[in-house]
Amino acid sequence: MDAIATTCRGRVRGRVRDGIATFLGIPYAAAPFGPHRFRAPAPVEPWEGLRDALDYGPTAPQRPYRPPLDRLIPDVDIPGEECLNLNVWTPDPGGGPLPVMVWIHGGSLRNGSGAVPLYDGRAFARDGIVLVTVNYRLGVEGFGVFPDAPDNRGLLDQIAALGWVKENIAAFGGDPENVTVCGESAGAVSIAALMTSPRAAGLFRRAVLQSGPPQTVPRTRGVKTVRAMAKALRVPATAEAFAAVDRELLLDVQTEVVGKADPISGGPGFHLVVDGDVVPAEPSLPTVDLLMGCNREEYRLWFVPSGMVDRVNALSLRLALLKFRVPGSVARLYKASRPGAKPGEILGEMATDLLVRGPLNRLADSRPARTFLYEFAWPSPVLDLGACHALEIGFVFDNLRHGEALTGPDAPQPLADAMHRAWVAFASSGDPGWSAWDGSRPVMVFGHPDAGVTLAPRQEELQAWLQQ
């Protein structure tokens, strides 16, 4: 059965199945190519008649993850230039107003899309939420720093998508005054910037950060990746010069320059840069309600499949600690609390706390608004990944069938029920079901069969970083 909705730019036709209406591939901005390439997002031209929104739209230009991550995090590649599009799942396009969740995908700012099957929004719509997933420009197209182009173009795309939601979501049964923006990894990093961006003020009421802390860099650092690519291409480090390069060659060189980097081990990549406009130099403390957390063993997604966890020996661990100026007292504390752990596991645990868990705890301490923290602790049996990065997504979306590459076929449905229910409750009321952050530091630990609130988990280790 068809469903019809009227947006500010024209009417769209979606499809209804099992009581859920789905609208796919709706453009929220003009195709970012031709005159719009390396520019801020431009309005999409209105259309006449009824536009089909039955299939996912084009995805932003990208290359797949390198092996073995390509097997664990399957990506989607849909060709076409009209890649600034979004998807909507709703239980009642003619009713409402219902709470809205807008999902911003992760992928190190160079991979991913809103069309990934794991992000199917049917379970949220089933439970009374209008779910929106968004595509935005990636890699050098979205986050390359040039002297002749606006910075943070991918973030500007996200703001344009949120503006579309503000103007149009009521036509899909959603409440434009009750929008929660959610994201994982680079999506969460983006949301942290959106929370303090004056360009995004008033576009959402609540936020969810999954495994991604606030993280911006100066323009002087952000430009390094573009310069490395320009050197390999033998062209000037300008948007004009890059726009003249064949797109496939540009992606090849981008992969060569940044393909081996990851959020834990580091390396050249793409970043949100402080531009004094979209990303302010002195961000104010945001007042939106916030749900945030991370997975207990984030690092294992990169360290275990690649074999790094076994390549790190006692000597290379000591050298890494010296390179990053990690005090011996901190290292001894981690070793003492993990008897029998491999040197690579010790390094990964410290990296997870230094780069993810610690910054999220400090953000919680600094906020005047209500904040709720969680930790995902269920260990995947696949390749000994443990409670690794991205593992929680299938549980949040109550979509374990499409998350089996990471979870295996026997992931616990009761854990998905609990996490999904908490996200629905937070988007609906601002209360996920446990106590807000205060001096006792409550953290909801999502495990199986055990789950519950723990006060100040592993606080001694986090505190050790602050004392240096």
Q: Within a domain: residue 331?
A: no
Name the pairing type of β-strands 50-52 and 20-27.
unpaired
What pLDDT does residue 466 have?
A: 75
In a domain, 271, yes or no: no
- State yes or no: is 389 an active-site residue: yes
Does residue 184 sit within a domain?
A: yes
In a domain, 8, yes or no: yes
| Range(s) of the domain holding residue 27 | 2-258
- At 468 the pLDDT is 55
Gap between the Cα atoms of 321 and 220, Å rounded: 26
Give a yes or no: residue 228 inside a domain.
yes
Distance CA 43, CA 164 (A): 10
pLDDT of residue 94: 85
> Is residue 158 in some structural domain?
yes
**Pair type for strands 289-295 and 206-210:** parallel
- Structural domain count, the chain: 1
Candidate list 190, 211, 297, 389, residue with the active-site label: 389
Q: What is the distance between the alpha carbons of residues 416 and 423, in angstroms, rounded to a whole number?
A: 11
pLDDT along the chain (468 residues), means of 10: 95 97 98 96 97 98 93 94 98 92 97 97 98 98 98 98 98 98 98 96 97 94 96 97 96 93 81 95 84 97 94 90 86 92 94 94 93 98 97 98 96 98 98 97 96 94 80
φ, ψ for residue 87, nearest 5 deg? -130, 145
| Predicted TM-score (pTM) of this structure | 0.96
Letter string b/e over residues 177-204, b meaning 16 or more CB atoms within 10 A of that residue's CB: ebbbbbbbbbbbbbbbbbbbbebbeebb
The answer to whether residue 420 is catalytic is no
Among the listed residues 141, 297, 298, 345, the single catalytic one is: 298
114 within some domain: yes
Half-sphere exposure of 194 (CA within 13 A, CB side): 34
- Name the catalytic one among 185, 211, 380, 428: 185
Task: Please name which of 52, 75, 165 lies closest in space to residue 402, comparing C-alpha atoms.
Answer: 75
* C-beta of residue 160 within 8 angstroms of C-beta of residue 41: yes
CATH number of residue 160's parent domain:
3.40.50.1820
Q: Is the bond leading into 68 cis (omega within 30 degrees of zero)?
A: yes
Which one, of 62, 136, 74, lies nearest residue 104 by Cα? 136
Active site residue 298: yes
The answer to whether position 104 is within a domain reads: yes
Dist. CA 302–CA 225, nearest whole Å: 21
